[in-house]
Amino acid sequence: MKKNLVYAIYILITFMFTGCAATQPSEPLSGKIKFEKINLAFIQKHYPTTKQYQTEKDVEQKLNDVIIKNLELNNMLDANSTDTLAISIMFRRIFMGEGMPLESLKSDTIGSPKLAYDIQIMRNGKVLRRLEKNNLIYDAGLFGNMKHIMLMDKENERENGAIEALGRDIVARVKEFY
């Protein structure tokens, strides 16, 4: 019995030190990153007949612009860097009443988009840092939401707010890698 207890303690201590020794320090990043454009997965299940909203290409261009603007503001871009920033974004356009069973309950009024992203900093094909966020919903704040409930917001206002917020959040997360 005493021998088994000694073996159990020995195994426990071995696992404890092995686990501590297994954590490797992260490979250091270069000071700045190279970024070209996002990879956008744009999903839309309802197609309005009474209103027209910005296209997938418009959304992609605005996302690229806001990310580049924020990277530049934070002095993080360098076209000659060995580290490359890869960003994949899922943008799910949602309309009010879209999930309702009756067609008469569905609306052409746009709601807050559902968002997700995957950020990777890579060097020579190797992923150095990665962050994935899923199931994000844009919150326009109290007055923005009240305006939306009363159907007073402009056609692309809600999506543009989500694009701005998402771009700022992505760059803030990239900044945390450094």
Long-range Cβ contacts of 19-28 (<8 Å, 24+ apart): 26/128, 26/129, 27/123, 27/128
Average pLDDT over residues 122-133: 94
Choose the weakest-confidence range: 98-102, 115-119, 133-137. Answer: 98-102
Residue 23: C-alpha distances to residues 18, 119, 130 (Å): 9, 22, 17
Residue 10: C-alpha distances to residues 2, 19, 20, 22 (Å): 12, 14, 16, 18
Residue 130: C-alpha distances to residues 45, 137, 170 (Å): 30, 21, 12
Question: What is the reported pLDDT for 135?
Answer: 93
The count of domains in the chain is 1
pLDDT tens, position by position, 40-95: 999 998 888 888 889 999 999 999 999 999 999 999 999 999 999 999 999 999 88
C-alpha–C-alpha distance, residues 97 and 110, integer Å: 10
Range of the domain at 126: 2-176
Contact 109, 96 (CB under 8 A): yes
CATH number of the domain residue 13 falls in? 3.40.50
- Which ranges in the chain belong to alpha helices (H)? 2-21, 56-73, 141-149, 157-176
C-alpha–C-alpha distance, residues 68 and 173, integer Å: 14
Question: What is the reported pLDDT for 4?
Answer: 61
